[in-house]
Amino acid sequence: MAMESSYVLGLSSKGFHRIHYTDWGSPDAERIVICVHGLTRNCRDFDALAQALAPDFRVICPDVVGRGKSDWLQAKEDYAYPQYCADMAAVIARVTGKSTGLAARLGRLVGLAQSGKKRIFWVGTSMGGLIGMVLAAQTNSPIEKLVLNDVGGVIPRAALERIGNYVGKDPRFKTLEELEAMMRLVLAPFGPLTDAQWRHLTVTGAKQHEDGTWGLCYDPGIAVPFQRGPITDVVLWQFYDAIRCPTLILRGAQSDLLLKDTAAEMTRRGPKANLVEFEGIGHAPTLMASDQIRIVHNFLLGN
Q: Is the pLDDT confidence value at 114 over 50?
A: no
Q: Which long-range contacts (CB under 8 A, 24 or more apart) does 293-297 make?
A: 293/48, 293/49, 293/52, 295/248, 295/250, 296/49, 296/53, 296/123, 296/147, 296/248, 296/250, 297/52, 297/53, 297/56
Are 24 and 35 in contact, with CB atoms under 8 Å apart? no
The whole-number average pLDDT for the span 98-103 is 43
Query: Do the Cβ atoms of 119 and 31 come closer than 8 Å?
Result: yes
**Pairing state between β 247-252 and 206-208:** unpaired
Q: How far apart are CA 1 and CA 24, in angstroms?
A: 7
Q: What is the pLDDT of residue 209?
A: 95
- In this predicted model, what pLDDT tens digit does every residue of 125-170 receive, in sequence order? 999 999 999 999 999 999 999 999 999 999 999 999 888 888 888 8
Mean pLDDT of the region 110-115:
38
Q: Which residue has the higher pLDDT, 113 or 155?
A: 155
Task: Tell me the longest C-alpha to C-alpha distance in the chain.
Answer: 62
When the pLDDT of each residue in the chain is averaged and rounded to a whole number, the result is 92
Length of the chain in terms of residues written: 303
Return the percentage of the chain with pLDDT > 70, whole number.
93
pLDDT at 1 over 80: no
Q: What is the pLDDT of residues 26-82, one digit of tens each?
A: 999 999 999 999 999 999 999 999 999 999 999 999 999 999 999 999 999 999 999
Listed in sequence order, the residues at least 6 apart from 208 whose beta carbon sits closer than 8 Å to its beta carbon are: 214, 215
Task: Count the alpha carbons within 13 Å of 21 in the hemisphere toward its beta carbon.
Answer: 26
Whether pLDDT at 105 is above 50: no
Average pLDDT, stretch 209-232?
A: 90
- Span 235-281, pLDDT tens digits: 999 999 999 999 999 999 999 999 999 999 999 999 999 999 999 99
- Averaged pLDDT, 174-179: 97
pLDDT at 115 over 70: no
Whether the model pTM is above 0.85: yes
3-state secondary structure the chain: CCEEEEEEEEEECCEEEEEEEEEECCCCCCEEEEEECCCCCCHHHHHHHHHHHCCCCEEEEECCCCECCCCCCCCHHHCCHHHHHHHHHHHHHHHCCCCCCHHHHHHHHHCCCCCCCCEEEEEEECHHHHHHHHHHCCCCCCEEEEEEECCCCEECHHHHHHHHCCCCCCCCECCHHHHHHHHHHHCHHHCCCCHHHHHHHHHHCEEECCCCCEEECECHHHHHHHHCCCCCCEECHHHHCCCCCCEEEEEECCCCCCCHHHHHHHCCCCCCCEEEEECCCCCCCCCCCHHHHHHHHHHHHCC
Distance CA 49, CA 25 (A): 12
Residue 116: per-residue pLDDT: 58
